[in-house]
Amino acid sequence: MKNLFIFLFIFVGLNVVNARCSVFVQGYVVHIKSDIIDNDGVTVHCRSKDDDLGTHVLRPPNLEFEWLFCDNIGLTTLFYCHFWWKNFEQTFDVFNHKLSRWCNENKKEGNTCNWEIKNDGFYLYENHTTWQRLYPWNAKPI
Ligand SMILES: *[C@@H]1O[C@H](CO)[C@@H](O)[C@H](O)[C@H]1NC(C)=O
């Protein structure tokens, strides 16, 4: 996981991913976009075993967050995020081996895992065909 680059609100050509990954591994982008437009914003904190991407608040005009990385040789890369919004929260893997197949675009340049955050939960653009709601928001324990 040494080859981790974080870009905020910047579109990054996917070629960049592959240019930086060794020929043996695949490059990925995880893109998270919030559809929730309010002043509270959605707070996101993503991590892997080795990297802490820090805390980001998604609110207008900054509703998107993405990073790119090279999968490791053992295909064991895993990123999980904790999300907070008002009195709700949720935690799940935004990238793991199973999800990597669901966001595979069969492009040698790289693949993007697209997540969208809505009032009723978290959607993945699964297999690049359909938006699927994979998780709801949970009420914070009181
Ligand atoms: C995406 O592909 C996976 C693996 O083939 C499959 O299990 C899943 O049902 C597919 N999802 C959709 C929305 O087609």
Query: Is 66 inside a domain boundary?
Result: yes
- What's the 97 CA to ligand 1 centre distance in angstroms? 14
Name the residue with tokens 């980001």.
Answer: 56
Range of the domain at 36: 4-17+30-94+111-139
Cα–Cα dist 24/108, whole Å = 12
pLDDT of residue 39: 87
Average pLDDT, integer, range 71-100: 92
- What's the 78 CA to ligand 1 centre distance in angstroms? 19
Could you give the number of structural domains in the chain? 1
DSSP run (H or E) holding 30 = strand 27-34
Given the CA of residue 132, which atom of ligand 1 is nearest to it? 13
pLDDT per residue over 35-54, tens digit each? Answer: 999 989 999 999 998 899 99
Percent of the chain with pLDDT over 70: 82
Could you tell me which of 79, 84, 81 has the C-alpha nearest to residue 137? 84
Could you tell me which of 50, 56, 43 has the C-alpha nearest to residue 90? 43
Q: What token pair was written down for 86?
A: 């008002």
Which residue has better confidence, 15 or 49?
A: 49
Query: Is 61 inside a domain boundary?
Result: yes
Query: Is 25 inside a domain boundary?
Result: no
pTM given for the model:
0.83
pLDDT of residue 26: 81
